[in-house]
Structure 1
Amino acid sequence: MTPAGTPPPAPPAPHHAERLCGEELSAAFDHAARGYDRLVAVNPGYHAQLRRSARRLRLPGAGAKLRLLDLGCGTGASTAALLRAAPLAAITAVDASAGMLARARARGWPPNVRFVHAPVERIAEAADGGRYDAAFAAYLFRNLRDPDAVLAAVRDLLRPGGRLAVHEYTLSGRPSARLVWQLVHRAVVLPLGTLMGDRALYRHLGNSVARFDTVDAFAARMRRAGFDRVRTAPMPGWQTGIVHTVVGRAPGGAEHRRARGGTPG
């Protein structure tokens, strides 16, 4: 154990520093948790964009009687965005990093929000029974070993007609979007992450954007996983063409949608 207020020791350097996975990635996030919110605050649109993606779920009735999942909740920024969009919903927020969850739990939350420590790959075990009306996943899928398996698991946890909104670095495919991201990562994100002692994590996160799907490829991935009515929407500002919301619907559920008074999305 470390004395109160002392940061945990840095995780051991991974064998493949360009890419972290599984327990290595969770340990890196544990170590970075103490400074994570300060770093994302450098992006003035960070929280507003999460709220925009949460609104794109089009949840009716302020979320009354709805059960929602926040996948990869981190320090709780995505949870706060989901709660803002659906303040009356029952929200289960899940993350694999104990350090990030400790930061999330330290915020003040109403009783309709609960946090679960579990890797998203085991979301079916971590869920508290029954199905969910919607799920939100911010900055998650590009860090998974098998995003297709997780998409299928989330689809199975949703009620017929339930929606998934993915807020993610999914580049547009235009060379200008890739260039802007590379410049921001090399000039801002990586140097700040290095100053905080978390260079391996932020190098991984930057490279994960370059490796991951374009927005069209991720939309196609969601369709292959069984989601229908998949649509994409960009973010405003400097992240146009870099960050998108991708929303899809679990198959079926015409009666469910009419009963909830919602739109297909």
Structure 2
Amino acid sequence: MFSQIAPRYDLLNRLLSAGVDQSWRRATVREALKHGPKRVLDLACGTGDLTLLLKKSAPEAEVVGADFALPMLELARAKAQKSGLQVRFQEADALELDFPDAYFDAITVAFGFRNFADYERALAELYRVLRPSGRLCILEFPPPPKSGLGVLYRFYFTRVLPYIGGLISGNAAAYRYLPASVERFPPPEALRGMMEKAGFRVRYRLFTGGIAALHVGEK
């Protein structure tokens, strides 16, 4: 599914979020780079937007982008080459990461964590490859809040977004999957509890009235 929508993925991200996702990504990068990490992993990197932003913000760091959809990685490599940025992109299974223990100083996952087949196992792997005192930043869409804004957002997310996404990408099922996956995702407090159970010390903040949430966990 992600391979099929790769060619229109960036366009739809900008269009469907009205560009506000860029400010969320910048906030994630600031948190991830706060302690000057030397090695950074952007997992579920997609077409590399966050990966390249990490490299631009920390040019001296080794930045690795990893994903399981090859067409996404091919687009990410092309964007890196066009930008003149030295970033390694590679295939990866979030449940069985091909990296040594305590290899990374910081890890980011932007809008990909909810797609993992086993959250607990993924958190265990992320904990394993993160060095002590390292930082994990998970940017995600929690279930829409129950406020007035949440009601409007849920209508947009379940009715308008699938229509526009399907029209532009040619894959309506992928954009019906998106709101369904968000509705099934744990609310912020529950995700915090899962991360703490995995061994992280966790705090989180909400963006845009609770539409997005950034969880920061320290090992």
TM over 0.5: yes
| Match in the other structure for 1:192 | 164
TM-superposed CA distance for 1:240, in Å, is 2.2
| Match in the other structure for 1:233 | 205
Question: Looking at CA atoms only, which structure, 1 or 2, has the larger radius of gyration?
Answer: 1
Determine the C-alpha separation between the residues in 1 that align with 2:74 and 2:104: 25
- In the TM superposition, what whole-angstrom CA distance separates every residue of 1:114-169 from its partner, at most 9, and x where no partner exists? 0011222221x2x2676110100001121111011010111011111101000001
Structure 1: segments with no counterpart, 5+ residues: 1-27, 251-265
Structure that is richer in helix per residue = 2
Does residue 121 of structure 1 match 2:95? yes
| Match in the other structure for 1:60 | 35
Task: Tell me the C-alpha RMSD between the 2 structures.
Answer: 1.9
- Asked if 2 retains the 8 angstrom alpha-carbon contact of 1:72 and 1:138, the reply is yes
| Match in the other structure for 1:36 | 9
Determine the C-alpha separation between the residues in 2 that align with 1:151 and 1:85: 26
- Asked if 2 retains the 8 angstrom alpha-carbon contact of 1:233 and 1:244, the reply is yes
- The one-letter code sitting in structure 2 at the alignment partner of 1:47 is Q
SS of 2:199's equivalent?
A: coil
Determine the C-alpha separation between the residues in 2 that align with 1:69 and 1:186: 32
- The one-letter code sitting in structure 1 at the alignment partner of 2:210 is G
- The one-letter code sitting in structure 2 at the alignment partner of 1:35 is R
Determine the C-alpha separation between the residues in 1 that align with 2:20 and 2:152: 16
Compute the TM-score of the two structures, normalised by the length of structure 2: 0.90
Aligned-residue sequence identity (percent) comes to 33
- The one-letter code sitting in structure 2 at the alignment partner of 1:194 is G
TM-superposed CA distance for 1:174, in Å, is 3.4
**Residue number among 174, 179, 197 corresponding to 1:201 in the alignment:** 174
- Asked if 1 retains the 8 angstrom alpha-carbon contact of 2:101 and 2:130, the reply is no
Determine the C-alpha separation between the residues in 1 that align with 2:11 and 2:85: 27
- Asked if 2 retains the 8 angstrom alpha-carbon contact of 1:59 and 1:86, the reply is no
- Asked if 2 retains the 8 angstrom alpha-carbon contact of 1:94 and 1:117, the reply is yes
